[in-house]
Amino acid sequence: MTNALVIAPQWIGDAVMTEPLLRRLHARGERLTVGALPWVAPVYRAMPQVAEVIEFPFAHGGLQFKARRSIAQRIQGQFAKAYVLPNSLKSALLPFLASIPERIGYLGEVRVGLLTHRLKNPNTKPPMVAFYSALSGETGVESDRPALHIGAGDIASTLRELGLEQGAYVVFAPGAEFGVAKRWPARHFAELAARLALPVVLLGSGKEAALCEEIAAPANAAQAGKCMNLAGKTSLPQALALIAGCHAAVSNDSGLMHVAAALGVPQVAIFGSSSPLHTPPLSDRAKVLWLKADPGYLPPLDCAPCFARECPLGHMRCLNDIDPKQVLYALD
């Protein structure tokens, strides 16, 4: 068995989309240790093919050379291969310093000397699962779909702690790290919550607590207890369990959208400035709403996808024009 180190990406959605690659590597006899930042490490613990997760003490930005060298010295001689999934220079540095003989990744940020096996970055935006899975060197990666596993006991204990019943609530994930041009308006989420028969659990980071409260407040004013705002109040393992136990999920194009897809949860994914051709929820139980691809939408939405953080034209039609009744219909 070959011991391999996988350097993980820093975002939850990207981490989910690396699962098919890890499944392929495990199937051919590689024992996988994933090096990940603390906020994505729980995603890799939900992948049965991962033998061990090392949490890196790195912060955003900066080379942090001394910390990388210290970890490299500690793991030296333990791995025959390293798969470097991010494209940054610093992500390739640790396997190089650890003298791992085979170091595989994409070209990027002057990494020629740090990697022994290099793939050219594609000129277009390919589906991210295929982008990562290609590092296996195998063919047929286009059909791969991520899958996560949360134990029934973990789901039950989380729901019991929060006073929830499995399958009896809908999860909303209204945030999107990249910017407002990926966020369906809070007023639309609030109207959808009011129309749903089931209670709503709002998930997100602490930075999204105010956004979630903007959704919860009017719904709770109309019907006490309709929305439970848990943004910033749960750990990522708890959030994974809450999504795994829900009746359905509604989200923007975000990391939690990919979590819901990998857990096989019925979901509606709302796209604005980004494209489901690049980062779709890969699940037969996912319904995507994207006005660019809606033949019934008039006038044509020629500006999408712009991939901008804020609407360059100021109208946000790609999200404003998706009616809550459309999402309700998609959920049904």
Shared domain for 130 and 160, answered yes or no, is no
Q: Could you tell me the mean pLDDT of each successive run of 10 residues in the chain, 332 residues long?
A: 96 96 97 96 98 90 87 96 94 96 89 91 85 92 91 98 98 87 94 97 95 96 95 97 98 96 98 90 96 82 87 89 96 90
Name the phi and psi angles at 19, rounded to 5. Answer: -60, -45
> Residue 158 sits in a domain of what CATH number?
3.40.50.2000
> The whole model's pTM is what?
0.94
Q: Are residues 137 and 175 in the same domain?
A: no
C-beta neighbour count of 123 within 10 angstroms: 6
Under DSSP, the state recorded for 120 is P
Structural domain span for residue 82: 2-143
Residue with tokens 């998609």: 330
CB-based contact 305:273 (threshold 8 Å): yes
Distance between CA atoms of residues 263 and 285, nearest Å: 10
Give how far Cα 241 sits from Cα of 166, 170, 204, 237, 279, Å.
10, 13, 14, 6, 23
Report yes or no: 327 and 185 within 8 Å, Cβ to Cβ. no
Question: Based on the structure, what is the number of domains in the chain?
Answer: 2
Q: Which long-range contacts (CB under 8 A, 24 or more apart) does 86-91 make?
A: 86/7, 86/8, 86/9, 86/10, 87/121, 89/63, 89/114, 90/63, 90/64, 91/7
Residue that finishes a domain, picked among 90, 108, 143 = 143
Query: For position 32, what pLDDT does the model report?
Result: 98
Alpha carbons 110 and 91: distance in angstroms, whole number: 12
Does 177 share its domain with 130? no
CB distance 50 to 22 below 8 Å: yes
